[in-house]
Amino acid sequence: MEHMGVEPGRLQFSWISSAESTKFVTVATQVTEAVRALGPNRRFMQPPLAEVA
């Protein structure tokens, strides 16, 4: 994805067990912050159908 121009950090991977609740919270928070810092996604976006019609 990054090779074709999606910003580094927008796509993230993690492996979290259902028992690792704190890790889930930590990762979810970090991902949210990282993506928020990148701003709204402008790529891989299609206009909503209502606007097209």
Partner 1 sequence: MTSTTAILREIAARLLSSGAVEMVIGFRPGTIPMMNEPCFVRTPAEVGHLVWDSHCGINLANYLTDRKEKIGIVAKGCDSRNIVTHILENKIRREQLVVIGVPCRGMVDKRKIAMKCPGEITRVSETASAITAEGEGFSRTFEKADVLQHNCSLCIHRNPVIYDELAGDLVEEQQGVDRYADVRAVEAMTPEQRWKYFEDLLAPCIRCYACRNACPLCYCPTCFVDESRPQWVGKGQDPVDVRTFHFLRAYHCAGRCTDCGACERACPVGINMRLFTKKLEKDCLELFGWEAGLSLEARPALDQYRPNDPNDFIR
Please report, as a single letter, which amino acid is at residue 31.
Answer: V
CA distance 10 to 22: 22
Nearer to partner 1, 5 or 40 (CB): 5
Q: How far is CA 8 from CA 5, 20, 32, 45, in A?
A: 9, 26, 14, 17
Chain positions 1 to 53 lying near partner 1, rule: CB under 8 A, are 1-8, 12-15, 27, 30, 43-46
Nearer to partner 1, 13 or 19 (CB): 13
Q: Which residues bind partner 1 (CB under 8 A)?
A: 1-8, 12-15, 27, 30, 43-46
